Structure 1
Amino acid sequence: MGTGRVGKVGDLPCDVTSFVGRRADLDTVRRLLVASRLVTLTGFGGVGKTRLALRCAADLRRAFPGGTRLVELASLREAGLLDQTVAKAVGVREAPGRSAFESLCDVVGDRQVLLILDNCEHLLDECAATATALLRALPNLRVLATSRQALRARGEHLFTVLPLSCPTEGLPAAGLTRYPAVCLFVDRAAAVQPDFALDQDNAEAVARLCRELDGVPLAIELAAARLRTLSVRQVADLLGDRFRLLSLGHRGAESRQRTMRALIDWSFALCSPAEATLWERLSVFSGGFELADAEAVCADAESHGANAVALPDTAVLDALSGLVDKSVVARTVAAGVPRFHLTETLREYGRLRLAERGEEAGWRRRHRDRYLALAERAEREWYGPRQLEWLGRFDRDHANVRLALEFSYRAGGDPEIGLRLAAALRPWWVTAGFLSEGRHWLARGTALHRTPDLSSARAALTAGGLAVLQGDFEAAEPLLALAGALADALGRPDLREHLLGVRGQAEMFQRRHESAVALLTEALAGHTARNDVAGLVESLLPLALTLSSMGDGVGAVALCERLERICVRCGDTVGRSYALWTKAMEAWRHGDGARAADALRDSLRLKAVLHDPLGIALCLEGLAWVAAEAGAVERAATLLGANEPVARSIGFSLAKYRHLVEYRDTCARRLDSADQRAVRAARRAGAALTLDEALGYALDEPPRAPEPRAAQGDLTPRERGVAELVAAGLSNREIAARLVIAQRTAEGHVERILAKLGFTSRAQIAAWFVGNA
């Protein structure tokens, strides 16, 4: 069964550093968004377009009750996936028979939403067309785009983001803080050296440095990172020598771009040989990576290229740590695992260095092979205890998956490997709700790789199965026929059994119950003989649903109990959640509301962990029926109201489950006979709940705590004491002296606090401590 993702997908990321200056810019952009529905922030790389857009959106949250959503486009190279990318950011799953664009419009409707399209410059025509179409279809939508060039869309208002203003020569230290460039440098310098302060001794060097860097925010932040090893005057002198030749002539945008390149060149030159080599190789990642990925892709015991050095896997961690210290690589924490990424400007710099030496293709091939290996391992382990881990992993690595597939299908690539990757990702395409994207990549690969081999057979079977789940039976039929012919030619009865299961699902969805039962029963027998866990799960569930639709409750429950035992044994969460839901429906059909409610709550707990909107919608609906039957009409109305935004996010309709419609109708009649004022109020209250609040209400439990913040109890008493000292502004050296411990021990405490709380800066620790004191 297909599921999707719902929750905080696409919501604005939290600030990890303070926002400095730009108050007038913020006011202007806000006014433009009032006057125009499409505003584009333009400017060169590193000038601060994205940061300004995010701050503006954060300030305007209350004006957009429908949500403020960020669509990150820097890593998107496949223009045909733009609609799917926007839909994912908004938290929308394609409804059966509807495109991503149509599903997006269905869900957003007349809600007031602000959409940020970030880094549009490489997809100008496509972004302009999509923004125009969305604005035409959605009357209360506003779009805020960032791009190095205008979109040239109708009705577009432009705002050019300029560098921060810098002081002229000769100003006293007291007057420098009026200049945003100086304020930014001081703020970032204090993050590196907590005791840093602007004073008479360093004021001239700070002002000169900001002028040399033309007030470019990214350049200022990179320069501030050098204070770990150099004084402000040393940094200013070194930069001055390097940039002096650039100051001749007109200092416009072109000159600032040269300044930026020269600064990055200087940052690169200050790296150790291992760090510089790793920087270049990390540029083949998109959207971030984990340490193990960097080791698998970038490590090499031999040197490559004129300036590269041997980089064994044991050296990657130290080199990566050095790049983090130099602010070249940013570190975050996702699901408790450290994750790293380069800003797009620094990533492009590394990529160009590889390309200039003709090495880019080789390292991208290693990147592709890494994600092929991960996908094939995930497919083998999907029906097991690591299922949730794999689901989250590919959610985070979606951009890397796309990059690997794009590389496989480009000229000189290997489309067969692309097909293997796209087919291996089938469980993720289905569970995460990316059915159209999966079909897109499989179709591209099939058009390029026409050899009648195992890769082609698996690709045809996977593409046909995805089409069936979308209700596109016409497109599915030739794909399934091809898969069957190849399975027979290759002598692969296992593929033939999976094909029977897919055909059985197609019959089930088309309500041809007898043929569905025959096909699924045959598939089940083959999977049982082979002890194929994936095949068992994927056959038992649709067979149980089919028997339930036919009124054979005893048979459906027996299959669900068998499925549940398999899922508990192997650790499959998805299959077990649907087995529980089906058992709940059968209990409901036979008048056992209490047993139905228990099973629905058990299923809902699993659905919440999976972030499965279809399952959550089905469970909330069922719990509403149980409440109405028990006479708890207001609770039933609240649950139905809580289900409205969930159902809307996936285009959910109970019409697909015709045998359940009578239960909704019964519930509706009970609500109609109650006090309508109370019913309407309860329904409105339910619709106003957040997802966590709705789940807590349905389960009679407190809402889940927001992530990634940890509870106070997650820190040890010593760590909490260190957090208090960080909040008081003490440096690691001062903390060590206060607690009579080694400075390295204090640093270790701070690192563990950052990891536990999912933070990246001392300022976040301070804010957390104040909020939890």
Structure 2
Amino acid sequence: MAADRDAGFGGLLRRCRLVAGYSQQDLADRAGLSVDAVAALERGRRRTPRAFTVRVLADALSLDESGRRALVDAATAVDAGHAGGPARPPAPFGPLVGRDEESDAIVAALSPDRGRQVALRDGRDRLVTLTGPGGVGKTQLALTVAHRLTDVFPGGIGWAALAALDDPAALGHAVAAAAGLRAVPGRSVEDSLVGELASRTMLLVLDNCEHLVAACALLVERLLAGTSGLCILATSRERLRLGAERVWPVPTLAAPDPGLAGGDVADSPAVRLFVRRARQLVPDFTLDAGDTPAVAHICQQLDGIPLALELAAARTNVLTVRQIAAGLDDSSTATGSRSAPSRHRTLRSTIEWSHDLLTHEERQGLRQLAVFAGGWTLAAATAVCSAIGDERRALTLTSSLVEKSLAVTHPTFEGRYFLLFTVRRYALDRLRDSGEQRALEVAHARYVADLAERAEPRLYGGEQQEWLRRLDSELGNVRAALGWTRQERDRIGVRIAGALWRYCYLTGRYGEGRDWLDGALAGSAEGAHVAKALLGSGVLAFLQCDYDVATDRIEAALERYRREGDDRGVAEARQRLGSVARERGDYPRSRRLHEESLAHWRAAGDAARTAESLNYLGYVAWLTRDFDRTEELCEETLSTFRALDDGEGVTWALLNLGATAVYRGRGELADRLLRESLGRSYDIGFADGVAWSLNMLGVLARRTGDRDRAWELLAESLERHVELGDGWRAASVFEELAATVVDTRPTLAARLLGAAARLHTVTMARRPPVEEADHKATVTACTAALGEDAYEEQHVIGRTGPQADLVRQVRAGGPT
């Protein structure tokens, strides 16, 4: 695994620096800063850069107005400061009321000893579980603690929101995403997590574990056993029951004693929270002598449970506090299982009371909105929920639920809303009781399928970036819909997964995409969308160098397309088989298949796909050292892709032309083309493009004698290729790293060459002719430096030792 390090201020700063072509020392010199200061900012060790620092960095990078604004926004954002990939915790929902002592104590428990920033104090503090009934404020407390610990964990803080996750089998992927990691092909996600986190000092927060408590316990136990610097903060209604666990019961807020005077009542934490929420709705709300007893009674009746208090206070714009108190009295005697713990009964009674005060349309809308696992937009609610009808009514209903504290706005994606965990669970119970659940799940899956199919053609061309972000926001719903279709063996799953394989390709979700496609295909062997799903499964397998599976899947898709008379599908499948042949070193077959596809696209008048086929042919020409042909083809495709505003296509054309310029010794041209390729890849979130651009910029730096810059670029490229599962390119980068250090660290060079040899053997991917001369020269130099016996000994170590250890050594080291 490797972290996605492109988010936050530090990630954006690194990205701007690499695109500008500067080393950390270059940027430090231009900005008048120390190189340590630049490194600290990029790694997130300095959480909030000063305005002056941001300004001089923007000047040094020669950023345009939009670039400067992006850098300033990242510096001032709430979650700025971590360059690393962990999914940073969202902002707390508001100020923490009545929890200062608990917050201080938990921060102390999870903090290292004073003066020892990396080492932990002992095993007992590596796992803290905040326990308590629903609505008691565990999430809010965890959010506050996580933000306070931002500067304590150099490896970052990952936030895994598990409330919407219903499938225990998906837990590992969710936690990996929270840590900014993805599974390494050929290893389980759990093994990948342990391997990557073994040497990192970070805090992982698992929020809402109770419905997955057994799976969470198994995963946490494994993570703690396999790592030394990882701390875990969990929230759950019940403890995980692990030996290393420090259980931290979260108390309710102190409610006032019945005999207290008015001023003392107002100082009670429960009353303070009630009044704060009431004033959000009624700005002139005051706690006068006549209302004080009623508010005190409300707080006592609700056991000081924060969510219950907020639900009650949300009614102060339509009811007096005396009416609220009376209504709660009635509700507490009429609802709730007497066998449940009292505070669970209290919260459920309060949710029930809030629910009963809704109109019929609001109650129906609330339970139907519970089908959304990843939140909803107004358009989504309109499409799925029969109770809503149109977007105007969706806005009215959603606004009402937000006002009543039953729904909240999404902390990350604008225009999205979601139900709090406890409220959604209650609403799902209501949905099941209503007899509407099956119809809503079908409608939800169809909505996701329609969205995926609308997105599919828009993942080419000028709308690409917008739709990638939109699909990012819908991931929770995509996963929920695919989970339901897999369980029900419903064919809608094939529609969803088949339409989203390109999204998984562009964003680097190769492993998860294959899981989606294979799960969907297992439940539907026939149907109109099976060929597309087979093709997508084959492409993602190819991208992870699983060539036999890729060939089988793509050939199965090709056969179906032929039977169905789908000429476009036939051309697409041939194109992909041409790519498999290319990486296996069968260049004549690759050319023939790409040329067959090209003939179809030209006959069909499809400019974008014609350019794509020409670009593939240019790629084959570069790999086989036919540089004139590469330039002829890819200059044409670059013009076409620019006219179509196709970010991915422009990136590949630039890469082919830039790589050709590298090997022709045209350094300035190569640098310009490859830095543009890198910038465009970052802009659209194109994972493979970023990895490739860094790779070729590293080759250029090595060939022009900038050993330090070459090492930085190649080391990051290696991490990204390994993360994606692209063993073919990882092997190439290992060999380039070896060439970079063969004169200064020949022992390491021999091990790097051994690691590359293993990848070539495992993947059966052939080293392309364009790289043969450099590889031969590196082996010759390394053998001369070490002697044949020592070279073979170190080569074997690299060939047989753990790849993850060598990747970490590359990450931590340097060329000298």
TM score, norm. by length of structure 1: 0.78
In the alignment, which residue of structure 1 is the partner of 2:73? none
Q: Give the one of 548, 569, 574 matched to 2:648.
A: 574
In the alignment, which residue of structure 1 is the partner of 2:793? none
Deviations 1:184-208 (CA, angstroms, capped at 9, x unpaired)? 2222223223344445443322221
In the alignment, which residue of structure 2 is the partner of 1:404? 481
Q: Give the one of 345, 360, 364 matched to 2:437.
A: 360
The reply to whether residue 374 of structure 1 matches residue 448 of structure 2 is: no
How far apart, in 1, do the equivalents of 2:97 and 2:591 lie? 65
Distance 1:500 1:313, change over 3 A: same
How far apart, in 1, do the equivalents of 2:202 and 2:439 lie? 43
Deviations 1:599-644 (CA, angstroms, capped at 9, x unpaired)? 1222222122123444334434544555566676666666668778
Distance 1:52 1:484, change over 3 A: same
Q: Give the one of 268, 273, 276 matched to 2:355.
A: 268
The reply to whether residue 294 of structure 1 matches residue 381 of structure 2 is: yes
Q: Give the one of 369, 379, 397 matched to 1:319.
A: 397
Q: 1:284 Cα shift? A: 0.8
* Preserved CA contact (<8 Å) 1:223 1:235: yes
How far apart, in 2, do the equivalents of 1:436 and 1:639 lie? 25
Q: Give the one of 15, 22, 34 matched to 2:92.
A: 15
Q: 1:339 Cα shift? A: 1.1
The reply to whether residue 206 of structure 1 matches residue 295 of structure 2 is: yes
The reply to whether residue 619 of structure 1 matches residue 693 of structure 2 is: yes
* Preserved CA contact (<8 Å) 1:379 1:424: yes
Amino acid at match of 2:459: W
In the alignment, which residue of structure 1 is the partner of 2:415? 338
The reply to whether residue 447 of structure 1 matches residue 522 of structure 2 is: yes
Amino acid at match of 1:24: E
In the alignment, which residue of structure 2 is the partner of 1:718? none
The reply to whether residue 192 of structure 1 matches residue 192 of structure 2 is: no
* Preserved CA contact (<8 Å) 1:107 1:649: no
Amino acid at match of 1:295: T
The range that moved more, 45-54 or 442-451, is: 442-451
* Preserved CA contact (<8 Å) 1:450 1:456: yes
In the alignment, which residue of structure 1 is the partner of 2:52? none
Size of the alignment, in residue pairs?
655
In the alignment, which residue of structure 2 is the partner of 1:429? 504
Structure with the greater relative contact order (CA < 8 A, sep ≥ 6): 1 or 2?
Answer: 1
In the alignment, which residue of structure 2 is the partner of 1:159? 248
Deviations 1:30-79 (CA, angstroms, capped at 9, x unpaired)? 45545332222222221122222222222222221101101112222232
Q: Give the one of 504, 515, 529 matched to 2:589.
A: 515
Q: 1:314 Cα shift? A: 4.1
Structure 2: tracts of 5 or more residues without a match: 9-85, 111-120, 747-816
* Preserved CA contact (<8 Å) 1:92 1:650: no
Distance 1:538 1:333, change over 3 A: farther
* Preserved CA contact (<8 Å) 1:132 1:153: yes
How far apart, in 2, do the equivalents of 1:550 and 1:356 lie? 65
Secondary structure of residue in 1 paired with 2:88 = coil
Amino acid at match of 2:571: E
Q: Give the one of 84, 87, 92 matched to 2:173.
A: 84
The 5 Å alignment of 1:231-310 reads 231-244=320-333, 254-299=341-386
How far apart, in 2, do the equivalents of 1:490 and 1:651 lie? 33
How far apart, in 2, do the equivalents of 1:15 and 1:365 lie? 34
Amino acid at match of 1:319: L
Distance 1:386 1:242, change over 3 A: same
In the alignment, which residue of structure 2 is the partner of 1:602? 676
The range that moved more, 3-12 or 128-137, is: 3-12
* Preserved CA contact (<8 Å) 1:587 1:596: yes
The reply to whether residue 38 of structure 1 matches residue 127 of structure 2 is: yes
How far apart, in 1, do the equivalents of 2:558 and 2:99 lie? 62
Secondary structure of residue in 2 paired with 1:425 = helix
Q: 1:397 Cα shift? A: 0.6
The reply to whether residue 128 of structure 1 matches residue 128 of structure 2 is: no
How far apart, in 2, do the equivalents of 1:542 and 1:100 lie? 32
The range that moved more, 434-443 or 533-542, is: 533-542
How far apart, in 2, do the equivalents of 1:629 and 1:196 lie? 71
How far apart, in 1, do the equivalents of 2:98 and 2:404 lie? 24
How far apart, in 1, do the equivalents of 2:705 and 2:506 lie? 36
In the alignment, which residue of structure 2 is the partner of 1:544? 618
Secondary structure of residue in 2 paired with 1:454 = coil
The reply to whether residue 148 of structure 1 matches residue 237 of structure 2 is: yes
How far apart, in 2, do the equivalents of 1:476 and 1:631 lie? 39
* Preserved CA contact (<8 Å) 2:699 2:710: yes
Deviations 1:250-285 (CA, angstroms, capped at 9, x unpaired)? xx9622222212211221222233322221211111
Secondary structure of residue in 2 paired with 1:162 = coil
How far apart, in 1, do the equivalents of 2:337 and 2:542 lie? 64
Q: 1:4 Cα shift? A: 7.8
* Preserved CA contact (<8 Å) 1:487 1:496: yes
Q: 1:109 Cα shift? A: 3.7
How far apart, in 2, do the equivalents of 1:553 and 1:93 lie? 36
Q: 1:661 Cα shift? A: 7.0
Amino acid at match of 1:422: A
Deviations 1:629-662 (CA, angstroms, capped at 9, x unpaired)? 667666666666877876786578885463x777
Q: 1:496 Cα shift? A: 2.1
Amino acid at match of 1:431: L
How far apart, in 1, do the equivalents of 2:597 and 2:462 lie? 25
Secondary structure of residue in 1 paired with 2:316 = helix
* Preserved CA contact (<8 Å) 2:508 2:688: no
How far apart, in 2, do the equivalents of 1:99 and 1:292 lie? 37
Structure 1: tracts of 5 or more residues without a match: 301-309, 674-773
Amino acid at match of 1:93: R
Deviations 1:84-132 (CA, angstroms, capped at 9, x unpaired)? 2222222223445444334434443411011112222222222222222
Amino acid at match of 1:212: Q
* Preserved CA contact (<8 Å) 2:335 2:352: no
How far apart, in 2, do the equivalents of 1:195 and 1:670 lie? 75
How far apart, in 1, do the equivalents of 2:399 and 2:601 lie? 48
Q: 1:471 Cα shift? A: 1.3
The range that moved more, 80-89 or 630-639, is: 630-639
Distance 1:643 1:417, change over 3 A: closer
TM score, norm. by length of structure 2: 0.74
Amino acid at match of 1:286: A
In the alignment, which residue of structure 1 is the partner of 2:33? none
How far apart, in 2, do the equivalents of 1:443 and 1:629 lie? 43
How far apart, in 1, do the equivalents of 2:721 and 2:436 lie? 48
* Preserved CA contact (<8 Å) 2:4 2:180: no
Amino acid at match of 1:352: D
Secondary structure of residue in 2 paired with 1:66 = coil
* Preserved CA contact (<8 Å) 1:97 1:470: no
Distance 1:485 1:627, change over 3 A: closer
How far apart, in 1, do the equivalents of 2:337 and 2:581 lie? 74
Report the identity percentage. 35
* Preserved CA contact (<8 Å) 1:385 1:571: yes
Distance 1:521 1:203, change over 3 A: same
RMSD: 3.1
Secondary structure of residue in 2 paired with 1:285 = coil
* Preserved CA contact (<8 Å) 2:336 2:348: no
Amino acid at match of 1:446: L
Secondary structure of residue in 2 paired with 1:146 = strand
Amino acid at match of 1:374: L
Amino acid at match of 2:520: G
How far apart, in 2, do the equivalents of 1:138 and 1:94 lie? 17
Amino acid at match of 2:202: V
How far apart, in 2, do the equivalents of 1:464 and 1:638 lie? 33
* Preserved CA contact (<8 Å) 2:608 2:641: no
Deviations 1:349-384 (CA, angstroms, capped at 9, x unpaired)? 222212112111111211111111111111122212
